Amino acid sequence: MKPTDLAIRLSSFLAEHLPAQRNASSNTVKSYGQTFALLLIYCRDCHRVPPQRLTLDRLTPEVILAFLDYLEGERKCGIATRNQRLASIRSFFRYLQEFEPARLLQCQRILAIRGKRAPANTVINYLTPERMKVILAQPDLTTRNGRRDVAMLSLLYDAGLRVRELTDLSLADVRLDTPAQITVLGKGRKRRIVPLLSATVKLLRAYLRDERPGNADRPLFLNHQKMPLTRAGIRYIIRKYVGVAGTGDAGLHERVSPHTFRHSKAMHLLQSGNPLAVIQSFLGHSNIQTTTTYAKADLEMTRAALERTVSATSRVSLPSWIEKPDLLTWLRSL
């Protein structure tokens, strides 16, 4: 079957334009690819158009808007994820308009689609140190998989890693001799050095004794098929242990994702009195404003705690004229 115009342009966009002309990282290319994979699935399931027959003509602004609603409604994606998918689509149509002038109007209409504004929210999903200890205590250290899981989850928390940073780690990125540290490839291909605590080093040593790795370039964490652990695999492992730990703690039934571990580490560092600049460097944030979100969240939680506390001022009786906002109403009540 002859490839469609969409297949030709999309292949060129992902395989040539992004890596060669825009110098996009492999993770960025994968993210863009996932967006269009979801778009193909949407058109197949909701519009009865198989991927091999989907053309550029069918990708109208109305279809793109419906796809974004599908992400939120059917796939339960948040507004940030929805906007990220839209950004990928807009990038493709910005590229497309240079090669297909006849589609300029179609491209510009799609480029005019705006991202959805997320409500202001300083609530960050994180775990207390006590709950984090409960989760990390669940793996069975007498088994090989248990030693792998506790080492992986401890590293995810201890180093405050993004899940992609964890899956990208190789043996060559890990130094267990003093000073113990890992080299992390973060967003924008920026590398940072993250120190490791002695407890995590001990767990990693036990895990690597089981593995007896020979090739320094191989991924740090493998599944039972000796393949690199994926994001989905890590999410599955976390859900498994959270489910067990949550049987005696209703609070652990809340949604816990790999990023919850990163949020938890950041909040614990902040609550221990570390400056925001130190936390920014540790997490690899390019903008201090991103790190400030944790400080705002901590202030909101402090405020909520204060409101739950009985204040001495709650026993003070205000004069009746102060309690009544309408002076005339108060005068008539005398």
Q: Give me the active site residues, please.
A: 162, 187, 259, 262, 285, 294
Q: What's the chain look like in SS3?
A: CCCCHHHHHHHHHHHHHHHHHCCCCHHHHHHHHHHHHHHHHHHHHHHCCCHHHCCHHHCCHHHHHHHHHHHHHCCCCCHHHHHHHHHHHHHHHHHHCCCCHHHHHHHHHHHCCCCCCCCCCCCCCCCCHHHHHHHHCCCCCCCHHHHHHHHHHHHHHHCCCCHHHHHCCEHHHEECCCCCEEEEECHHHCEEEEECCHHHHHHHHHHHHHHCCCCCCCECCECCCCCECCHHHHHHHHHHHHHHHHHHCHHHHCCCCHHHHHHHHHHHHHHCCCCHHHHHHHHCCCCHHHHHHHHHHHHHHHHHHHHHCCCHHHHCCCCHHHHCCCHHHHHHHC
